[in-house]
A and B are shown apart, each in its own frame.
Chain A
Amino acid sequence: MVNDQMVNNLVLEIRNLHASIAGKEILKGVNLQINAGETHAIMGPNGAGKSTLSAVLTGNPAYTVTEGEVIFRGKDLLSMPPEVRAREGLFLSFQYPVEIPGVSMTNFMRAAVNAKREHQGLPALSAGEFLKLMRAKRALVELDNKLAGRSVNEGFSGGEKKRNEIFQMAMLEPCLSILDETDSGLDIDALRIVAEGVNKLHTPENATIVITHYQRLLDYIVPDFVHILADGQIVRTGGKELALELEQTGYAGLV
């Protein structure tokens, strides 16, 4: 019974994933299983492959998968182009959100939401319905109307960019969200707003991967599992107490 449920709840399964960039191998056999309702933290020293893992999962063309497979909700993730992965419910909160001058947040999000709806066989939202949805989701991360009217990320502060990522996550309602160093460059107030947004979006049906260097974020987004990634492999897995242990001893004591 428990086993059946485990299988049915599996959102992501990474098997022996190897990936390289410009001929240099970064991921050297990553294995990971994530079930619906779970939050996993991936921690590790600089250069361990944390951001590479999120780039490979989302299909960033700069990286080449050399071995292994990834099953996302029963489907072969690696054979899908990046936009299909997104429409299937994979979301990445970028470490460095990209500024797109001249493309309004509204047009950008409308294209994204309607691409996903089309993929699901749903009709496109009308302009009115869409604006209503924007308003409702904006409140979640206290993103004001002015920001929503501007070009994508253009001239946003570091904190505003990260709040904008979580706003987009709220709009797209992903099954699996990867938060890549969402805490970097955030002051404590922005961190709290972002974390509260993430927590409100958490449901028993979706899952979250939090990639972070520091324990601080995990005070706000409490993980069920903590994985230590070092030199392209997960070298330790534990509960949330592992992050605290790491804070005390540093990576040197564990890796």
Chain B
Amino acid sequence: MTGNNNSIIKKMEQIINSDIDLNTRKDDIKELFKEFKKANKKLNKILTIGDKIQRKDYDGLKIKLNEIRELNDEVERTQKEVLSTIGTIAEFRSNETGLHVQRVSWYAKILGKNYGLNEREVDLLFHAAPMHDIGKIAIPDAILNKPSKLSFEEFEIMKTHAKLGYEMINDSDRPLLVAASIIAHEHHENWDGSGYPRGLSGDNIHIYGRIIALVDVFDALGSDRCYKKAWDNDSIFNYIKKESGKHFEPKLVDIFFSNLDEIINVKNKLENRIK
């Protein structure tokens, strides 16, 4: 193809390296200079067009990348909102207001962060927490909303909500749903192994399960339920201290009390407005 800089360079070298007096080759040099100018002009043109192409490509990529980011955010926000809504639906069946699941999420976030979970884990915990009682949608109303103490058989049925909740969502491999399935499954396990459904103990209970176990009890004791009135804070704190090492992981109990102000702050902000 024409206008090749290499061919110009080659011709120049031939002239320079020859023994002939350059004055006698003025015409050749002039011709070469003309060629060089043409090639240079072409090169500049290529650069101009190349720059324009590059700018268009880069601008286009940036726009696409932003679109993908926005779409991704939208997908994540939708997932989180759907989980929160489903969790609230489960709460409504127990004549709760939906604020319980919100409070549990916020308490869990405080404990998770101070336990040393990374930002992503805390985020998953926060957004999956509302699903902890999702299994309750499969528990009959007569048991779920019974105003008196459950019989042994009724309590056995009630206990199945943990496994049922897990089974409802454990097919997914989406991180948020995996976290939700763990929480649904393990939030009634006790640190000493006396919980259900599997009687797991200590570190065998996922940290999400251990955290939700504590904050769920804390919130439930402080709320009116169909079968009991709300406890006062001191009684709740005494209970939590008493259950450290039994129902709850001692380290989490310590973290709970170290961050009590923040926890009470959440409680006051998200107090039940509808009883």
Q: State whether these chains interact.
A: no
Chain A residues at the B interface, C-beta cutoff of 8 Å: none
| B interface residues (Cβ-Cβ under 8 A, vs A) | none
